[in-house]
Structure 1
């Protein structure tokens, strides 16, 4: 579906990427090909599906603005997305030429700027980086990963369990991945808070000064991590990265670690948060003695189809001018894939009403650049949710589902908060608690009635 076009040649008349159709052919409902649609701000965050429906009027690709003054073409069609993701001969991940056309201080630059890592490389270089990551994660045993997740979950639940209420985003979903990565990369538990504070500061800094200080703290953490493992190897990802036969340079090593932590943290945190939101908002997920209850994995699957934790990404740049699914794309132009729009092209997917098309969701991307550690992510997310709902068996939303607010931003699909309430648990109560028997598995076969006497109507958040 991709046709080559010589650089500098004139696209055919009426090309939707370069010129609007003649005035006499345009209906009032037809979108203007000159006007990019803004994919940021509270309106987009509140109802992105409405924007995706509008964008599909353009065809398989649509012009969008992802930050003030920064435009891209967004792939909203499922088939076109697969064609792009599987075509490494036409498309490159190298963003260096594109970066010269965008303000250096653009808010999207941290997500799109070139680095020597697996995200922004092509061909043999990409394969070399990817092998380091996949081979190293393959050494992480599933039972060990599950046990680590149990310990991380219990550590966090201990902090808010006695209160009877918590923000499951700020106090749980965002922190689980960081606790996990701190240990998996080989740092003592005492370093966990430093990593958490640094990442939180970079994501939520209220000023450029706070963001800069957080970035410096994160850099210091990474340098100390690398220094510690150079001095003494261990059974951890950092050591395995270092000792891999592909022989990463010091710069490449740092960038693979930073990428793995960054690319793992945000999507995994959003996956846990979105799945918890769905489970607490929908009565289908209440366990009953009569059966029919849906599981944590069901919630995760619904999220991956309908609320992907990363909604729009897979930045690509054509190596030459191409005619792609009805649209001319200039060489070097930013093209992104909307996993959310492509997944939703055939309507909402639920467990009792499967997707009407064929194929799998695109939330892990696809092709050579598909997520290399999706099994690990699924295990962590599933275990973290099951651990929380087992210890806090009557947990429920503290607000109506319609009151939940989504974070602004083009790339992610994430809640600002997920307030919940439950019967408080304390260290001195009878039976197992997160403070004792931390590797035990509390029973979650039957869900207790919620704290309030009135159940919420079933709805997906």
Structure 2
């Protein structure tokens, strides 16, 4: 690697990611040599054009982690193992196999009725708000933003609220890549194994059943990790997306005057955070098929290439308009990735419906919502991969629960 690698962990990924990415860009350019936990090497692509090139050239930057040339250096208890383990899913497949899996996933998600989805999201949001609206304050992350997407996704899977909460806790633990990450993944595997068996025996009008019985003929060992992938991709980023948008609206004076008119500003806030505080900061990964030059660096065959979505969205060479302060109306960000492995369009629609509805319903119910602490006191989650506040304490005027009306 050219230059001293940058450790891909540490407090600055939470406290000052923008400054850190700028330092990386100044020192290394758009492609940065980094080390993950365990001193494992990788390349972090933070240039917009360079990342776009990686995402649109799967013949050079392939998806299967079986290609990684550092497997012999990976300890068995490596916290990132659940994120790179070459499981048979749409994430790691390539070519015709990827198209088969992606087709099944897309069909299963596309069949979700958008009107029913919004109705369920509204009902779920109202139920969660009823749980704390009679008080004068709450941690929105714990009580609302982290729970709402999980509960809606649980409905999509045909699961109940308690099952959804347990799966959410396990997914968060796995993505945070702490000491319990592998145990959390094992719990998710067991839960999805039971779900697949149940849907094979008695299918219903849900995403899991449609995937189990899809003409693509996915086997059980394929379905289990696939359902975990869909759950994680839908829950974690959407929850952080909602939380980051609410944080922006509660701390930025451009949104302060319009909280009571949330329907005018929710979409703007949600789009802006995809540029400034995208939920997925760094995504694993791609693997060089052969030696290649990228952004002035020599990438060797088998090297891991990390997708620096947050860094690329902040690339000052992108275009001047995208770097100006003010509401973002440009949707050219890479927060949903790009190319054949991008977030499927039905999944993006589902996530946007949940996120917009979550913000609108909350601010309709509690129009005088205010942050309960100074903005600088907010703490970010300890993850280089995900961007989201660890808590979002707010105050408001108590109101009666709707369920009591």
User: Which residue of 238, 245, 257 corresponds with 1:275?
Assistant: 245
Cα deviation code 1:337-394 (max 9, x no counterpart): 2111111112774674769xx9700101100011111111111111011111111111
Partner residue, 2:286: 316
2:75 aligned with 1:103: yes
2:352 aligned with 1:378: yes
Quote how far apart the aligned CAs of 1:217 are: 4.1
2:13 aligned with 1:37: no
Q: Give secondary structure in 2 for the equivalent of 1:336.
A: strand
Residues 395, 245 of structure 1: alpha-carbon distance in 2 compared, 3 angstrom cutoff = same
Once residues 276 and 228 of structure 2 are traced to their aligned partners in structure 1, the CA distance between those partners, rounded to angstroms, is 28
Cα deviation code 1:256-283 (max 9, x no counterpart): 1011001221111110110110011112
Residues 97, 205 of structure 1: alpha-carbon distance in 2 compared, 3 angstrom cutoff = closer
Runs of at least 5 residues in structure 2 that lack an aligned partner in the other structure: none
- Are the counterparts in 1 of residues 271 and 331 from structure 2 also a CA contact under 8 Å? no
Q: Give secondary structure in 1 for the equivalent of 2:20.
A: helix
Once residues 166 and 51 of structure 2 are traced to their aligned partners in structure 1, the CA distance between those partners, rounded to angstroms, is 39
Q: Give secondary structure in 2 for the equivalent of 1:315.
A: strand
Cα deviation code 1:376-432 (max 9, x no counterpart): 1111111011111111111110011111111222211111111111112233xxxxx
Once residues 343 and 103 of structure 1 are traced to their aligned partners in structure 2, the CA distance between those partners, rounded to angstroms, is 33
Quote how far apart the aligned CAs of 1:205 are: 9.8
Alignment length (residue pairs): 396
**Larger relative helix fraction:** 2
TM-score by length of 2: 0.90
- Are the counterparts in 2 of residues 118 and 126 from structure 1 also a CA contact under 8 Å? yes
TM-score by length of 1: 0.80
Residues 217, 313 of structure 1: alpha-carbon distance in 2 compared, 3 angstrom cutoff = closer
2:125 aligned with 1:156: no
Quote how far apart the aligned CAs of 1:436 are: 5.4
Quote how far apart the aligned CAs of 1:252 are: 0.7
Partner residue, 2:367: 393
Q: 1:68-147 residue pairs with structure 2 within 5 A?
A: 68-98=38-68, 99-147=71-119
2:16 aligned with 1:47: yes
Cα deviation code 1:93-128 (max 9, x no counterpart): 111242333223222222222111111111111111
Q: Give secondary structure in 2 for the equivalent of 1:345.
A: coil
- Are the counterparts in 1 of residues 282 and 386 from structure 2 also a CA contact under 8 Å? yes
Q: Give secondary structure in 2 for the equivalent of 1:105.
A: coil
Cα deviation code 1:20-54 (max 9, x no counterpart): xxxxxxxxxxxxx3411123111231001111111
Quote how far apart the aligned CAs of 1:284 are: 1.6
User: Which residue of 234, 248, 261 corresponds with 1:264?
Assistant: 234
CA RMSD of aligned residues (A): 2.5
Once residues 108 and 289 of structure 1 are traced to their aligned partners in structure 2, the CA distance between those partners, rounded to angstroms, is 39
Cα deviation code 1:206-262 (max 9, x no counterpart): 864xx6665454334323322221121111001110121111011111111011001
Quote how far apart the aligned CAs of 1:292 are: 11
Once residues 96 and 204 of structure 1 are traced to their aligned partners in structure 2, the CA distance between those partners, rounded to angstroms, is 23
Q: Give secondary structure in 2 for the equivalent of 1:73.
A: strand
Q: 1:161-180 residue pairs with structure 2 within 5 A?
A: 161-180=133-152
Residues 220, 143 of structure 1: alpha-carbon distance in 2 compared, 3 angstrom cutoff = same
Structure of larger gyration radius: 1
- Are the counterparts in 1 of residues 40 and 74 from structure 2 also a CA contact under 8 Å? yes
User: Which residue of 159, 182, 190 corresponds with 1:187?
Assistant: 159
- Are the counterparts in 1 of residues 30 and 50 from structure 2 also a CA contact under 8 Å? yes
Quote how far apart the aligned CAs of 1:285 are: 1.5
Partner residue, 1:286: 256
Q: Give secondary structure in 2 for the equivalent of 1:118.
A: coil
Greater mean deviation of Cα atoms: 270-279 or 146-155: 146-155
Q: Give secondary structure in 2 for the equivalent of 1:317.
A: strand
Q: Give secondary structure in 2 for the equivalent of 1:119.
A: coil
- Are the counterparts in 1 of residues 196 and 212 from structure 2 also a CA contact under 8 Å? no
Partner residue, 1:254: 224
Once residues 144 and 292 of structure 1 are traced to their aligned partners in structure 2, the CA distance between those partners, rounded to angstroms, is 22
